Structure 1
Amino acid sequence: MEGKVEAALSIWKDGVEVGSKRYRLEPYCTVYQAELLALARATRVIMGSEASEFRVFCDSRAALDSITNNDCYHPLAVEARENIIVLQRIGKIIKILWIKAHVGVKGNERADKLAKEAALKLKTKADYSACPVSYIKTHIRGTSIKEWHRRYDDRETASVTKAFFPRVETAYPIVRKLKFDQTLTQLMTGHGGFLSNLYRFKLRDSPACPCDSIYDETPLHIIAECAIFSRERQELETEIKIQICTEEIKNIMENKK
């Protein structure tokens, strides 16, 4: 809530709430960590109680699966499992059950309310601050893409590719979904059998396009201007409802997302 991650416990006996706990996590923590923290702290509360039978309700299947899976080595899941083993050894009965969220279960609704209040009101030091791998990966990827774009933008090369993808940030999700073959790769880089490219390497006497000698045969010319492909271009414009020109290529690619 509001960029904050919190967890809470609502403790009940004979249909009445007899206690509650609220926990603050660092903003980079995940909801999954918050759910695991609540379960681990619940087992701590039970260890300090004189009662002999307990039921713990949780609406997160992922957190419950982690606790019951001995191959899950998340520290909070391990702590919860170890506490449960200790409780069972001293004769306490503990059942951890899944319940559906937001269906009016009083204890669960109360725990959600406590967590929201914690997000708004708690100003104390975080009760849990372990940084999840997912956050680190996201941070590294974001930093890498930012540096990638700086280099991409500063250099004068890749002019054809930049017409398709002017910014690395917007290119990344599109490129991941494209199925590249030889033709598409040549088209988006300009490094193929285009007369302008062949002329650069002295493999042709002229870069001029067969449609008109005033135009160089480049990928962008073929896509947006070449009269030879006017029929195909018109059919594509009708299909995508966008007039194809060099300035619109980047927008067409972004719409492909």
Structure 2
Amino acid sequence: MQAASLVQDSADPCYQVVFLSDALSVLQALENDKLPQLAKALQLVRQTRRVVLQWVPAHCGIPGNERADELAKEGAVEDQPENSVSFSEQNTIIKALMRPRTNRDDYHTMSREQQVNLIRLRTGHNRLNAHMNRKFKLAPSPTCACGQEDQTTEHILQRCPLLDEERKEVWPSPIPLQTKLYGSRQELEKTTTFITSAGLIV
């Protein structure tokens, strides 16, 4: 339903939209009129576009991807990492990413390493103690080396006392977390510079 809403809000004049899903049960339920709200959302899209629903087997036959699919399913039933991105902010970010490339060159012209670091910081799926301990048990504790709280994206970028010097060098005055993660290219580069100067591996 979220994908249908995003298409409705998009200014892209495309005639045909293909929705790909690995959830065969959802497609079957649609066929049997068991998901009226989703059917209504798709019907709104059909008013202006041709809609195709396509089932895609989940990483079928690719060992590495099958393992990734297993981990994704495990993660879906576990506690999700805390972050400061609200549902409405997530929608804003997704819509921004759907805009033509010329309107979002800042992020896409950054180096691959910078992009990866930013995505890991944004999603919370990274190598900081909080995620590595709770998800993979690869860190003895979720707590930061400072001992004050869990080592999360927000903690290292905003509060960790061990990184005060590096933080003040990059940001002499306090900056909101959202600006550090979703701001202009200049702001994003400050964030990646901070990660490098702090010697952090995210």
User: Taking structure 1 as the reference length, what is the TM-score of the superposition?
Assistant: 0.32
The structure with the larger Rg is 1
Pick 1 or 2: higher relative contact order, CA cutoff 8 A, min separation 6: 1
Bigger fraction of residues in strand: 1
